[in-house]
Each structure stands twice: as structure tokens, then as C-alpha cells.
A and B are shown apart, each in its own frame.
Chain A
């Protein structure tokens, strides 16, 4: 457990560094090379599948603590937890994506993503790393794909890594709960 905590902190720091570097890069004038695009991502494991999220939407990664379920919230909301005195909601992508229920994993990490307006945590089993992916390697889903969560999908990298579109997750009104 203690090792895990150290882990979490480490990756948090790394993320911040990456974010800062990225901010510097963004501040530079746009050149051709930037436009060809390298996507910086945080890779994580969830239900025996590896996913990637653009780091610029990732605020921090924390260790999953006690989760308080919220009765009446949609099933993809696992519940809420407190991060330094603030409450955030936790999203279970397996339910949001209607992935077939198989296996039991630990969801030991919470990846907090934000676009400044909306903030929530995504439950993940483990963080597998930080890295860059050349944008041209991301193969968008074939137009015919009949996937319920296609709108949250940027594409695949060599079939094994699913690159998610954090922006579409954060801007989808369907993910915001506002009961009448």
C-alpha cells in the first residue's frame, strides 16, 4: 500500500512536469513540426485493456480511497470522494462504455481530468506510463464501427492501445447529472 502511495505521488509530479513542458511548448509559435502532432498521453490499464488519455486534460492521479455511492445517480457514476477537501465524482468507464462484465479488477487509481469547467475522476486499475504518440499512428475507428462509445474514442494504436478523447468526455452533456 505504502509503495502504491509513493507511486501515485511520483506520477503526479511527473505529470505536472510534463504539463509544464507542454505549456511551454504551446506558448511557442506554431511551427510545421508541431502541427504534424505528437500527442502526450497518460496510459492506464482498465479491465485488462490499456487506454490512453491526453495529459493536458489530466490534473492529477490519486490513490482510490473510500468511495461514497450516490443513490439516484446514473450507474456509470461510482460515487464521490474527497480530494483535499473538495468533492469529485468518479466515473467507471466500463459501465459508461457498456463493456462486457468480465473479471474483477481493483481500480486502485483515480485519474482526475478537467477542462477547467468540468472536473471528474476516472477509475483505473493501474497507471502504465506517460509517453508520446505520434498523431499519425492513431488509427481512427472505421466509419462503420458500431460502438456505443465511439464518440469518446480518438482511435487505436497498433490495436492494443485505445486512445480516448478526453475533450469529448468532458464536453458531453450526457455525463453531467442535473435532475429536474
Chain B
């Protein structure tokens, strides 16, 4: 059993970690600014750092993290001196401060920072203080001169030096209730209150757990799905309404007859009728009239309700959109939140490499989706590392090149049109040497020497991404921009963005990321390929086109099309997914629908059977068992309740480009492709029969029962029917009878596949006119196929 106190403490710790993380980032940012600007008396920065440290110390004490408290205590003392101008830190001191922050971070995450211990840091900080004490105007150390207002609310029965300093805040009425109870919980509650108070600093904000926000987003997404369902229902209702037109037409046809009946039986033209028929006839006619009225009113009422429902639906649509947008807005955070710790990182990393680098951040107050920022964090970190490692030159080289000794790495956040943001990471370093890349690419066999010289400088730059795609570390060796960059590109593309590089030798390199501001509701192109419906994420769909069969050039290894001057490999979507048992209908239409997908530098043109629509999609995971399936991102529940797979554009492109040249599209020639109608109410049996027959080279259509089958038979040509017997609405026996009774179809072969085992049933089957009767209990693929082959032969 978990101790509730312990549980509570755990919660507190989690909250503290989050809060502390923010504090630490803030302190790091301020420290760097301080070092750059130098300390002026009464500097607001010093004041701010001091307060932040103080808050952190209080919080750490509340959750009983003594190590952190002690480090903060000492840091605070140093800053107290700085505030009074009694201590001016040098570079070494700043290093110490950053180390202290690093150690605190380590303590927070439970990882030990190896080289230094918290005790050492505390000692070194104290040493700083005692140094100043030797100065004439030395001040008493340790004593905290004043309590920053933000911390006033932290108080409890534990030894708080605020109190001992005689600075105990006056208890407020509402808080006295916290003075009793367990000390642990007590401090906790107090602390939570203080954190809440702390967070009201810039107007009205509340802290909300990230997972709650995520759940809210998921909920809003579910709403969108429901809305989609309702839209679909409405369409169905509208269709039902149109059926009344047929009814009206039929009614109009008989209305004249009806009239004549009325006249003849009991109207003015009354003829002699057998008296026992007059009354029934009259009742019939009256009933028909009643019927007409009834249906007319029904139609009217229905249409009123449909219209009302449509209005409700559109209101719902507006509202759900508003909610969804709002919630997605709620997760927008200033980019600064993520960039803040980078200052410390750059400072430390550049010192570590022996280079002098300043990080300049511009436009970081722009707001972006928290999830995008989280996803980009590592990539940005990587780019910064790259710039320092491979961009910025060592101070002596920079001096030789008449550059400022301190290099600059700049992150610029630029709002772009279309809810996009540009993030530029640039350095004023040496730039990328194309010739080195050319050489390496040739050495690694990525391109031939001739091709390498033929490549323009811009094209060469793209090689650094290519290396990632082919997972060859060609450029990693020379600039380190190889695999890492490919990962950056992957991340950015997954977010629906793009990456570009520009570099000038000797002047520096700029990498531009373009990403959406928010993870907007995804849109997808719904397509049908074979018997299944798939969704292609809109972000990676470059274009949907229709081409003539002859526009697909089949001269080379693989079929290609030319689109906007580019040659793009053509592949059937089913083949790209590894589905082979599929035959298209004989090419009735000359136009082939093609979806061009682009992902980074790679692209393919996918042949599909039908482009159904573009719609909003809410991507769900494939469940706990299918953690990752190649080429598939997830699943979507469509408006009609069916589940469609969402395809992964990148993997689709990679796999199809990697794959061997495929058989040209349209494997089965139109002439000998036989069409079979499979009628079966069980989903699995239907799918199984379909697969067996498709693999055997037949074109298969399916119906769920006799009724549907009959409707399809009347509309389309089939070469054979394979039907179950026991089905709702219309059994296989009845279906067979109806087929035999229809002059046009009477010769159509019918195979009954059934679980009815008795000889009687079999006899029944033959009586109604089935050509073959296969029992499910002894069902075998080969048997079914040979029966079908024979029957089709005979038909010929």
C-alpha cells in the first residue's frame, strides 16, 4: 500500500521539479545577460536573479530537498552582496554560478554531475563571500537582508530564517487553517498556494498539468470526429429525403387509376360491381388516399427535422471548431521558454571547445505549440552544437581572417505567412566547403566523380541531407552535419515543415527551419486503393493529379511521370504497401488518379484507384500490440465508422525508392479478367473468400446479403456468384431463385458456400438452381477454385 503522505510528497516533488526547471532556465538566461552587460549598481537583473534564487530556495525547502536549498542559500548570499555592489563577479565566478545551476539541475533530475558535488559548490560560493568580507566594506554573510515579496507567503513551523530575521510576515486570515495538521502536508499546501500566487505575476494565468492539456486536446479531437460522423449522417438523411421523389413519381403514375377506381366503384360513373366488392374497394381507395397523405406529411415533418438538424449541425461545427482552436491556442508558449536554457549551453559548450561564442536570440517572444517546441528542442540543440563545433573558428583563426574574435551564433524567430514560423540558426563561421563534400561523396561512392563535378554548389549542399537518407555518414566525418542534420530534417518534416541551408565560404552558414505554429488539426487525402481506403497526410501531399495512361513513361527501369519539369517515379499505392493480390478493373477510364507525395528531397507518384475527398483527420495509434508498423503512422475512424490506415509518407517514399523495379501497373489484361460477386454476411468469411479469389486472379466485388447482391447484379455484369446461404434479409437460396427467374441472368453460375450440412439442404440448393454446393466444414481453397474454374469454362 502506498502511504498517502508519501504519495502527496511525490506529487509535490513533481510540481516542484517543473517550477524549478523554469526558475533555473530564467536564472541561466539572466546570468548570461548579466555577464554580457556587466553589473551596474541597482541592476534590475541582479535583483531578479536574487529573487528567483530565493523563490527556488523556499520551494526546495518546502519539499525537503536540502542539497538544493543549501546551494541556493549560498548563491543567494553572493547575490545579496552583488546587489549592494560589494561583489563584482569575474569570469571564474560566473562559471561557478553556472556550475551551481547545473548541479541543481542534476539534483533535480536525480543525475549526479560527476566532477563536482553540491557541497563543493556551496564551499566555493562561500569562499567568494569570504573573499569580499576581507574587503573594507564587508558585510555580514549569510544573513538575508530583506525578504523579496514573492516569498512572503512561505512560512511554516520549521526553522525559517525569514522568521528568525524578525521578518515574519503577518498571517493572513484565510491561511490560518494551514497552521495545524501534519507538518509535511502543511508545508506542501502552503507551498502550492505560494506557487499559485507566484504564477499570477503576468495577469491571470493558471498552471495546468501538461497531461491534462493533452487530454483536453484529445477530447477536442474526438469532438471533431463526432462532428464528422454527424455530417456523414446528415448526408445519409438528405439522401433518404430524395427517395421521396421516386415515391411521388410512382404515386403520380397511379393517381389517374385511383381516380378511375373511385368513379367506377362509388363515384358518378358507378358501374355495376359485385355488391360484396364495393365496400372493400372503397376502403382500399380510402386507405390509399390516407397513405398518400400520411407519406406526404411524413415527408414534410422529416424535411423540417432534417433542416433543423442541419442548422444544429452547423452550429455544432462552428462551436467545435472554436473549442478546438482555443484549446490548440492554449498550448501556445513563447519560443523563449525553450530557448532560454540554450544560452547556458552555448556558453558552456563553447568554453569547453576553447572557442568564444555569443548566442543572440531574436524574436523569441513569438508563441508556438508546446508540442512542436518540445519536438524541436533536440534539433535546435543539435544545430547549435554544429555551429559551434564546425561553424565558428578558433579565436586565432578568426583573428587571422580579420573577424571579430568572439563568434556569433544567432537564432532568429520570424513569423511567416500561413501560420508558419521560420527559425534560423546561423553562425558567422567558416561556412561549408563544397569541394570537401564533393570529395567525400565521391570517396564514399555516393556519387560518381563526374556527377560530383557536374553538381552545382547548391546541389552539393543538399548532399549533406542525402547522407542521412542513405544512412551513410559521409559528411559526419568532415562537418558533422551528416546524420544529425538528417534527423533534424526528419523531425521538421514530420511536423509538416521544411529545412533549407545556405552557406557562404568564409562567411558562415544559415540553416532555416520552417514549421507550423501549431499542430493544427491534420488534414488527409482519403484514397481508395484496391479494396481498402487509406489516408495520406495532407502535409506531405504535393499534388493530386489525373494523367492519361500514356503519360506514364515505361521506358526505363521503373515507370515515371514528368511533373512540372521533374521526373517522378510512379508506383501503385497497393504495391508500395506490399499488397500484391489485387487486380484493377479493366482500364475503363483512360485517366489515372495520382497522388504525388513529397518528403524532403524524395518524392513519388502513387497511383490510386480513387481519390475520395480531403478531410480533417484525428490520427489514433494502432493499439498496444502494433507499436510500430512500417509505412503506417496510425489509423483514422472515418465518418461512416470505418477504420482507415494513415500512411507514413517518408517511409512510403523510402521503401518504394529502395524497392526493386515493380511490375508495370495493370497486371491483368482486361479481356480474361473475370468478375465474381461474393455474397456473405460474415465479415471475415467475406474477406477470406475475396482474398482467395483475388489471389487466383479474379476481380471480386462483395455484397453483405442477398438483397444487396440482387441490386448489384441488376446494375453490373458478373461472371459468377459465390454466395453464403444463411443471411439476413435474403438468403442464398432465395437469391439463387431470383437469379434463375431473371431472363438476363438465368445462365449465371451460382456457387453456394454454406454451413448447412444436411443432405436436405444440399438438395434444396440444387432445386433452386445452384450449380455447386460447398460445405463450410470441409471447405478447401483448392476445391473452391477448381469448381469455379470448371463452371467458368463451361460458361464459355
List the interface of chain A (C-beta within 8 A of B). Answer: 1, 48, 64-73, 77-78, 80-82, 85-89, 91, 101-108, 117-120, 123, 175-179
Total B residues in contact with A, Cβ cutoff 8 Å: 44
Q: Which residues of A contact B637 (CB under 8 A)?
A: 82, 85
Q: Which residues of A contact B621 (CB under 8 A)?
A: 87
Beta-carbon contact of A67 and B687 below 8 Å: yes
Beta-carbon contact of A87 and B622 below 8 Å: yes
Cα–Cα distance between A46 and B208 once the two chains are bound (Å): 49
Beta-carbon contact of B630 and A80 below 8 Å: no
Q: Which residues of B contact A70 (CB under 8 A)?
A: 622, 626, 629, 632, 645
Cα–Cα distance between A157 and B454 once the two chains are bound (Å): 75
Beta-carbon contact of B776 and A72 below 8 Å: no
**Which of B627, B629, B687 gathers most chain A CB within 10 Å?**
B629
Beta-carbon contact of B643 and A66 below 8 Å: yes
Residue of B nearest to A63 (CB): B683
Beta-carbon contact of A89 and B626 below 8 Å: yes
Rounded to whole Å, the gap between the CB of A81 and the closest CB of chain B is 6
B641 interfacial contact with A, CB 8 Å:
yes
Cα–Cα distance between A64 and B688 once the two chains are bound (Å): 14
Cα–Cα distance between A168 and B681 once the two chains are bound (Å): 33
Cα–Cα distance between A73 and B645 once the two chains are bound (Å): 12
Beta-carbon contact of A85 and B625 below 8 Å: no
**Which of A65, A77, A104, A119 gathers most chain B CB within 10 Å?**
A104
Q: Which of B82-120 contact A (CB under 8 A)?
A: none
B267 interfacial contact with A, CB 8 Å:
no
Given A70-B645, A72-B630, A177-B629, A89 and B622 contact (CB-CB distance below 8 Å): yes
Q: Which residues of A contact B687 (CB under 8 A)?
A: 67, 69
Rounded to whole Å, the gap between the CB of B744 and the closest CB of chain A is 30
Write 20 A-B pairs (CB below 8 A) sorted by A numbering.
Answer: A1-B681, A64-B683, A67-B684, A67-B687, A70-B622, A71-B577, A71-B578, A72-B578, A85-B222, A85-B620, A87-B620, A101-B780, A102-B778, A105-B755, A107-B683, A107-B684, A120-B625, A176-B625, A176-B627, A177-B628
Given A1-B728, A69-B532, A87 and B625 contact (CB-CB distance below 8 Å): no
Rounded to whole Å, the gap between the CB of B198 and the closest CB of chain A is 38
Residues 573-608 of B, flagged 1 when their CB comes within 8 A of A and 0 if not, give: 000011100000000000000000000000000000
With A67-B684, A106-B682 already in contact, 12 other A-B pairs whose C-beta atoms are closer than 8 Å: A66-B642, A68-B532, A72-B577, A80-B626, A89-B622, A101-B781, A103-B776, A105-B685, A105-B755, A107-B683, A108-B684, A176-B627
Q: Which residues of B contact A107 (CB under 8 A)?
A: 682-685
Rounded to whole Å, the gap between the CB of A38 and the closest CB of chain B is 28
B225 interfacial contact with A, CB 8 Å:
yes
**Residue among B628, B642, B681, B777 making CB contact with A178, cutoff 8 Å:** B628
Closest 10 pairs (CB-CB, A-B): A106-B682, A104-B779, A107-B684, A71-B577, A104-B776, A179-B630, A89-B625, A68-B643, A178-B627, A120-B625
Cα–Cα distance between A104 and B752 once the two chains are bound (Å): 13
Beta-carbon contact of B684 and A123 below 8 Å: yes
Beta-carbon contact of A106 and B684 below 8 Å: yes
Q: Which residues of A contact B644 (CB under 8 A)?
A: 68
Beta-carbon contact of B623 and A72 below 8 Å: no
Q: Which residues of A contact B781 (CB under 8 A)?
A: 101
B753 interfacial contact with A, CB 8 Å:
yes
Q: Which residues of B contact A120 (CB under 8 A)?
A: 623-625
Given A1-B728, A64-B683, A177 and B641 contact (CB-CB distance below 8 Å): no
**Residue among A64, A89, A91, A102 making CB contact with B779, cutoff 8 Å:** A102
B631 interfacial contact with A, CB 8 Å:
yes
**Which of B622, B637, B688 gathers most chain A CB within 10 Å?**
B622
Q: Which residues of B contact A48 (CB under 8 A)?
A: 777
Rounded to whole Å, the gap between the CB of B268 and the closest CB of chain A is 51
Beta-carbon contact of A105 and B776 below 8 Å: yes
**Which of B626, B681, B777, B781 gathers most chain A CB within 10 Å?**
B626
List the interface of chain B (C-beta within 8 A of A). Answer: 222, 225, 532, 577-579, 620-632, 634-635, 637, 641-645, 681-685, 687-689, 728, 753, 755, 776-781
Beta-carbon contact of A82 and B641 below 8 Å: yes
Given A1-B728, A68-B645, A81-B643, A118 and B683 contact (CB-CB distance below 8 Å): no
**Residue among A69, A71, A89, A177 making CB contact with B631, cutoff 8 Å:** A71
Residue of A nearest to B692 (CB): A104
Beta-carbon contact of B684 and A64 below 8 Å: yes
Q: Which residues of A contact B579 (CB under 8 A)?
A: 71
Q: Which residues of A contact B628 (CB under 8 A)?
A: 177-179
Beta-carbon contact of B625 and A175 below 8 Å: yes
Given A1-B728, A72-B577, A81-B643, A67 and B683 contact (CB-CB distance below 8 Å): yes
**Residue among B222, B577, B635, B753 making CB contact with A80, cutoff 8 Å:** B635
Cα–Cα distance between A86 and B623 once the two chains are bound (Å): 8
Residue of A nearest to B225 (CB): A85
Rounded to whole Å, the gap between the CB of A137 and the closest CB of chain B is 29
Rounded to whole Å, the gap between the CB of B648 and the closest CB of chain A is 11
Q: Which residues of B contact A101 (CB under 8 A)?
A: 780-781
Beta-carbon contact of B688 and A104 below 8 Å: yes
Beta-carbon contact of B682 and A108 below 8 Å: yes
Residue of B nearest to A71 (CB): B577
Beta-carbon contact of B626 and A106 below 8 Å: no
Rounded to whole Å, the gap between the CB of A177 and the closest CB of chain B is 5
Beta-carbon contact of B683 and A66 below 8 Å: yes
Given A72-B629, A120-B623, A176-B625, A78 and B684 contact (CB-CB distance below 8 Å): yes
Cα–Cα distance between A16 and B200 once the two chains are bound (Å): 47
Residue of A nearest to B684 (CB): A107
Residue of A nearest to B642 (CB): A66
Q: Which residues of B contact A176 (CB under 8 A)?
A: 624-625, 627
Rounded to whole Å, the gap between the CB of B399 and the closest CB of chain A is 48
Beta-carbon contact of B624 and A104 below 8 Å: no
Residue of A nearest to B726 (CB): A106
Q: Which residues of A contact B776 (CB under 8 A)?
A: 103-105
Beta-carbon contact of B627 and A117 below 8 Å: no
Q: Which residues of A contact B623 (CB under 8 A)?
A: 80, 86-89, 119-120
Rounded to whole Å, the gap between the CB of A61 and the closest CB of chain B is 15
Rounded to whole Å, the gap between the CB of A1 and the closest CB of chain B is 5
Beta-carbon contact of B643 and A73 below 8 Å: no
Cα–Cα distance between A106 and B726 once the two chains are bound (Å): 11
Cα–Cα distance between A177 and B687 once the two chains are bound (Å): 23
Rounded to whole Å, the gap between the CB of B577 and the closest CB of chain A is 4
Rounded to whole Å, the gap between the CB of B206 and the closest CB of chain A is 29
Cα–Cα distance between A152 and B69 once the two chains are bound (Å): 55
Residue of A nearest to B647 (CB): A71
